[in-house]
Structure 1
Amino acid sequence: MRLYRSPAPLTVALALALSLSFGVTTHARVPSEDSAAAPFGAECRTSVQGSHVVAHCHNPYVETDRVQLHIECVRWWDLDTDSVPVDAGPATSVRLSGRCWKEIGSAWVSHQNRGS
């Protein structure tokens, strides 16, 4: 009498039994340089009304954040635009705006750390 039609279940059971027999080793977590970095980045909210985009950014952190609004237009003949970069200092709010001639495809804000 055969117990298994294929060797797959037996192989899986053997692999599971062998993996459980080896102990789980834990290692102390060493903090990386990135995890020790101070929080950074302005919080930005964008709104689109027709062919106009407005982004309001507030930086609650100590480091200056250089923000820039990027706009992609839907029409192939409508030029995509980037706003002038603006420094959002500590506890500062800035307003960025732009437009397309017709519909807005997408809009986002990029961030660059400018230091203190």
Structure 2
Amino acid sequence: MRLSRSLAPLSVALVLVLSLPYDALPYDTPVHANAPARVEAGASPSPGRFGASCRTAVRGSRVVAHCHNPYVDIDRVRLHIECARWWDIDTDGAPADVWPAMTVRLTGRCWKEIRSVWISHQKAR
């Protein structure tokens, strides 16, 4: 069976593309659903992703925060509390390291009401 002249160049191009080595294909071309991810040796798999997700709960003059780190880098978190009264001392909690796949609990308080609460993040080396 002979290929027609219009299908011959298309067939040759298809054979050439399919015979390329895996490394020659562009990164955004899906080759196989179960292909291993490409990560350079010593590099973080997702360098742009960092930071534990934190939830805070204020009850009266007490604060409880839970921080969970889903990423591979260690996140050093600190709880900061601003008290509502001018004579009440604002506090910055001690730093706590949140390792990958871990959750830490941070607590703090004011004598009276709490004005605001926030958590700072720092990449631990």
Normalised to the residue count of structure 1, the TM-score between the two structures is 0.67
Please give the root-mean-square deviation of Cα atoms over the aligned residues, in Å. 1.1
Q: Counterparts of 1:1-116 in structure 2 under 5 Å?
A: 37-115=47-125
Q: Which amino acid aligns with 2:55?
A: R
Matched residue count = 80
Secondary structure in 1 matching 2:58: strand
Aligned to 1:26: none
Structure 1 portions without partners, runs of 5+: 1-35
Instruction: State the shift of 1:38 in Å.
Output: 3.1
What is the distance in 2 between the residues matched to 1:66 and 1:100?
23
More strand as a share of residues: 1
- 1:32-81 alpha-carbon deviations (Å, 9 max, x no partner): xxxx7330000000000000000000000000000000000000000000
Cα distance between partner residues in 2 of 1:46 and 1:69: 10
Percent same amino acid among aligned pairs? 66
Segments of 5+ residues of structure 2 without an aligned counterpart are 1-45
Task: Give the residue type in structure 2 aligned to 1:55.
Answer: A
- Cα distance in 2 for partners of 1:88, 1:68 equals 10
One-letter code aligned to 2:67: C
Q: What CA distance in whole angstroms lies between the structure 2 residues aligned with 1:42 and 1:92?
A: 9
Shift of 1:96: 0.2
Q: Quick one: distance in 1 between partners of 2:76 and 2:49?
A: 15
**Residue 15 of structure 2 corresponds to which residue in structure 1?**
none
In structure 2, how many angstroms separate the alpha carbons of the residues matched to 1:38 and 1:103? 37
